[in-house]
């Protein structure tokens, strides 16, 4: 009991206390009276729902592409190719670069007037790019998702690579004796063997996606016209730009509940699958 005291105190101070302060903040007026006004105002605020939808597209798009790209790269790097160690290290660079540095660099590359990416697209015969990919309603989210995928796919690849080491090689040998193709091996051995790893990654990517503001904060601040304003950024703005702490607290509790439901769903899905096995 005594040994867990420091940890318990730490958890109380830095996790439980802020959480409950936040809940209290979202439910009380500045004078201390209990109120549901902040929640009802939030639910009526159309910009909150617009932000939620943008968040779903941003996180959903990012997670799917991160998983597909990361898993492919992970599997590819497991094969005996030349300079494998070097390639594995290089692939990790985007993940290691600090988020704010990466995001700012990408923002400049996307800029319509001095961005190298826009230059490239214009030279390829897409004059549309002159306006800048971050300032057009149709391209801003894909452009941001691309950066997020670029930033995180290496993490998925590394985790998949680790997961692959745990698959019994005799399974592949047996399959090859039976004359199976690469795609058969992938479908019936590799992916099922990676399921635990993939579910964990999916969970982490979703949580990180919902909580991440670095990339969007540094690149568009939610613009143009709030078209990339994800919910965490909405909370940030409400709290630290407008000093509306009660409303910001209500929104963050809302975000917290959405994430909790999502995680519960994942775990349920995963647990159910496990029982079947």
Partner 1 sequence: MTKTLVILLMAAFSASLWAGGSGEAAAAKQATVTWWAPNFNDPRSEELAAKFMKDHPRIKIDVQKTVSAGLQDKILVAIQSGTTPDIIDTNIAWTVSYAATGQLLALDDYIAKSKVIDPKDFMPGAWNGMLYGGKVYGIPYRAESHAFLYNKNMYRAAGLDPNKPPKTWTELLDNAKKLTRATGDKPVYGVGIAGGGEVGNMITILVAWIWMNGGDVVSSDYKRITINEPAAVEAVTFYTDLLTTYKVAPPSTLQNDGTAMRNLFIQGSIAQFQQGSYAIAPIHKDNPGIELGYGLLPAPEGKKPAAVLGGWSYIIPKAAPSKDAAWSFVEWMSQTDNMAYYTDTFPATGAAMKNARFSNPEFKAFIDMTPYARLTPPLKGWVQMTSIIFKEVQAIMLGQKTAQKAMDDAAAQMTALL
Residues that bind partner 1 (CB under 8 A): 111-114, 130-132, 134-137, 220-221, 223-226, 237, 240-244
Kindly state the tokens that stand for 229.
């304003």
Q: Which long-range contacts (CB under 8 A, 24 or more apart) does 21-30 make?
A: 22/249, 22/252, 22/253, 23/249, 23/253, 25/245, 25/246, 25/249, 26/246, 26/249, 26/250, 26/252, 26/253, 28/246, 29/246, 30/246
> Could you tell me the smallest distance in angstroms from the CB atom of residue 14 to partner 1?
22
User: Considering beta carbons, is residue 3 or 183 the nearer one to partner 1?
Assistant: 3
> Could you tell me the smallest distance in angstroms from the CB atom of residue 209 to partner 1?
24
Kindly state the tokens that stand for 1.
């009991």
Q: Distance between CA 26 and CA 38 in Å, rounded?
A: 6
Exposure string over 78-96, b if 16+ CB within 10 A, otherwise e: beeeeeeeeebeebeebbe
User: Considering beta carbons, is residue 35 or 136 the nearer one to partner 1?
Assistant: 136
User: Considering beta carbons, is residue 159 or 235 the nearer one to partner 1?
Assistant: 235
> Could you tell me the smallest distance in angstroms from the CB atom of residue 135 to partner 1?
4
φ and ψ at residue 3, rounded to 5 degrees: -70, -30
Contact yes or no for 129/118 (Cβ under 8 A): yes
Nearest of 131, 101, 137 to residue 115 by alpha carbon = 131
- Backbone φ/ψ region at 130: left (φ over 0), alpha (ψ -120 to 50), beta: alpha
Kindly state the tokens that stand for 98.
């600090």
> Could you tell me the smallest distance in angstroms from the CB atom of residue 246 to partner 1?
14
Kindly state the tokens that stand for 137.
């309603």
> Could you tell me the smallest distance in angstroms from the CB atom of residue 70 to partner 1?
30
> Could you tell me the smallest distance in angstroms from the CB atom of residue 247 to partner 1?
10
> Could you tell me the smallest distance in angstroms from the CB atom of residue 259 to partner 1?
26
User: Considering beta carbons, is residue 35 or 221 the nearer one to partner 1?
Assistant: 221
User: Considering beta carbons, is residue 50 or 64 the nearer one to partner 1?
Assistant: 50
Contact yes or no for 90/157 (Cβ under 8 A): no
User: Considering beta carbons, is residue 132 or 163 the nearer one to partner 1?
Assistant: 132
User: Considering beta carbons, is residue 155 or 236 the nearer one to partner 1?
Assistant: 236
């Amino acid at each position: 009991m005594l040994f867990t005291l420091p940890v318990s105190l730490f958890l109380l101070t830095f996790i439980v206390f802020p959480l409950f302060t936040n809940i209290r903040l979202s439910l009380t007026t500045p004078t201390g009276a209990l109120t549901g006004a902040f929640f009802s105002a939030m639910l009526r605020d159309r910009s909150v729902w617009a932000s939620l939808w943008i968040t779903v597209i941003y996180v959903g798009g990012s997670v799917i592409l991160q998983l597909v790209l990361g898993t492919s790269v992970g599997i590819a790097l497991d094969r005996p190719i030349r300079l494998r160690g070097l390639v594995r290290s290089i692939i990790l660079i985007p993940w290691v670069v600090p988020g704010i540095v990466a995001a700012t660099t990408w923002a400049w590359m996307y800029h319509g007037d001095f961005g190298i990416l826009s230059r490239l697209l214009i030279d390829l015969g897409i004059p549309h790019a002159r306006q800048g990919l971050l300032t057009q309603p149709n391209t801003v989210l894909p452009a941001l998702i691309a950066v997020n995928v670029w930033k995180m796919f290496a993490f998925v690849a590394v985790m998949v690579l680790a997961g692959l080491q745990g698959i019994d090689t005799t399974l592949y040998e047996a399959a090859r004796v039976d004359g199976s193709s690469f795609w058969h091996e992938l479908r019936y051995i590799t992916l099922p063997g990676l399921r635990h790893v993939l579910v964990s990654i999916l969970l982490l990517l979703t949580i990180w996606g919902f909580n991440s503001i670095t990339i969007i904060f540094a690149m568009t601040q939610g613009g143009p016209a709030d078209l990339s304003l994800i919910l965490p950024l909405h909370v940030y703005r409400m709290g630290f730009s407008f000093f509306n702490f009660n409303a910001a607290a209500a929104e963050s509790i809302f975000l917290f509940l959405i994430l909790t439901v999502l995680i519960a769903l994942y775990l349920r899905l995963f647990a159910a699958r496990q029982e079947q096995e």
